[in-house]
Amino acid sequence: MPDTPEPLDAVQLGAYFALMEVAGLLRHAVEQQLREAGDLSYVQFQLLARLGLDSPTGRERMTDLADGVVYSRSGLTYQAGLLEKAGLVTRTPSADDERGVTVAITDAGRALLAKVLPGHTEVLRHQLFAPLSRRDTEALAELLSPVRDHMRSAPPRSAAPRRRR
Amino acid sequence: MPDTPEPLDAVQLGAYFALMEVAGLLRHAVEQQLREAGDLSYVQFQLLARLGLDSPTGRERMTDLADGVVYSRSGLTYQAGLLEKAGLVTRTPSADDERGVTVAITDAGRALLAKVLPGHTEVLRHQLFAPLSRRDTEALAELLSPVRDHMRSAPPRSAAPRRRR
DNA sequence: TATTGTTATACTCTATAACTATA
DNA sequence: TATAGTTATAGAGTATAACAATA
């Protein structure tokens, strides 16, 4: 058995537990709103938001979507299938690479996103931002961004060794 | 249809997405470690940690456990059943309230916790704390603690109206 | 009558491995 | 040979509602 490494101190433990609890409670609240307002899971919302808000063209390849949403390949196939069945996205073979599949958000997908967003915003305002000042929010974003970048670069991600586009 | 509320600004969206992504990736990494080191899910680890680390006596009532871990009652019953089957906790009728059930961590439970903790710590150090200075960590804890308290007090919690002990 | 906890049940999500097709 | 994506399948987790027992 290896020697016990330096254990975490109280401040670190506090930050860790607070982070996980806040994110867990927030996700719970948000998921409820998404389910009621649009019958969407959080992951499905993430996929729609990525296509409808982040991506300028509204279309992305499966692999690139997976890199953002953290998934096994099969999990993404499953969710994309659900979204397609609901008419919120389409899946077509990629133009340049015959192996690839391009997922595109539909008008119905954009409409649902728009329908769901105001309530989503309200939940965030009440649950997350209410106790945070403007500067707090800025500080939080500035603290977490480097962590996110760090984690993205050392991916315990979806499946096997993956590669950026 | 109600008027669209003030949408979130870029800083708020950034904080929100960073929080969710960091927590999601961290949970993924941590869950993997817990599974390999002790065949535990994150929730099971939370329950053991609450009993073995937080609680001075190592015993708590089901309801109080649920209040901390965010669950449906039945979900907690399910998880407690798994832990009991594995010999990590015991469940006995509460002394004062015949309706209640007291969950207590066993020696085996404490041993497993001790076995799993060093690796857990390492994951946290590498994934979460590596890009954070000492002061960053303090700041993060101080930002998130009020949010956690706020969320706890307005519970979208487990099930029906619940009540503190 | 309200509360604690369990059970039954159904469903959603996720992961693994095997497979197809293209690069 | 490696990569993109799908399928089959199996397992874990979660939620709802009905229920029994105690307060």
pLDDT above 90 as % of chain B:
82
Chains A and B form CB pairs within 8 A to the count of 172
Contact B108, B70 (CB under 8 A): no
Confidence of residue A67 (pLDDT cuts 50, 70, 90): confident
Residue B101 β-bridge partners: B93
A32 reaches B (C-beta below 8 A): yes
Lowest mean pLDDT among B8-12, B69-73, B125-129: B69-73
Residues 6+ apart with CB under 8 A from A4: B118
Q: What is the pLDDT of residue B69?
A: 83
Residue A106 to residue B37: CA distance in whole angstroms: 44
* Statement: residue B158 has pLDDT above 70: no
Q: For A131, which residue in chain B has the nearest alpha carbon?
A: B147
* CA-to-C1' span, A129 to C21 (A): 48
| Structural domain boundaries in chain A | 11-152
Q: Please measure the distance between the N-terminal and C-terminal CA atoms of chain B and give it in whole angstroms.
A: 41
Confidence of residue A3 (pLDDT cuts 50, 70, 90): low
Q: Which CATH architecture has domain A11-152?
A: Orthogonal Bundle (1.10)
Sign of the CA dihedral B38, B22, B141, B61? negative
Contact B20 A29 (CB under 8 A): no
B14 reaches A (C-beta below 8 A): yes
- Stretch B31-60: mean pLDDT: 96
Contact B149 A137 (CB under 8 A): no
The tokens for A83 are 């979204």
3-class DSSP assignment, residue B143: helix
Instruction: For domain B13-148, give the fold.
Output: Arc Repressor Mutant, subunit A (1.10.10)
Q: What is the pLDDT of residue B155?
A: 53
The tokens for B165 are 């002990």
Confidence of residue A48 (pLDDT cuts 50, 70, 90): very high
A35 closest-nt by C1' vs CA: C12
pLDDT above 70 as % of chain B:
90
Crossing angle of helices A10-38 and B134-153, rounded to 10°: 50
Confidence of residue A86 (pLDDT cuts 50, 70, 90): very high
Residue B12 to residue A128: CA distance in whole angstroms: 10
Mean of the per-residue pLDDT values of chain B: 90
Residues 6+ apart with CB under 8 A from A113: A48, A49, A52, A53, A105
Confidence of residue A31 (pLDDT cuts 50, 70, 90): very high
* Statement: residue A32 has pLDDT above 60: yes
Map tokens 């599949």 to a residue: A101
* A69 neighbourhood in chain B, CB within 8 Å: none
The tokens for A7 are 């254990």
Confidence of residue A159 (pLDDT cuts 50, 70, 90): very low
Q: What is the pLDDT of residue A91?
A: 98
**B98: closest CA of chain A, how far (Å):** 31
Q: What is the pLDDT of residue B110?
A: 98
Mean of the per-residue pLDDT values of chain A: 90
DSSP states of B85-116: HTTSEEEEE-SS-TT-EEEEE-HHHHHHHHHH
Beta carbons within 10 angstroms of residue A110's beta carbon:
16
Residue bearing the bigger pLDDT, A42 or B153: A42
3-class DSSP assignment, residue B13: helix
- Stretch A16-23: mean pLDDT: 95
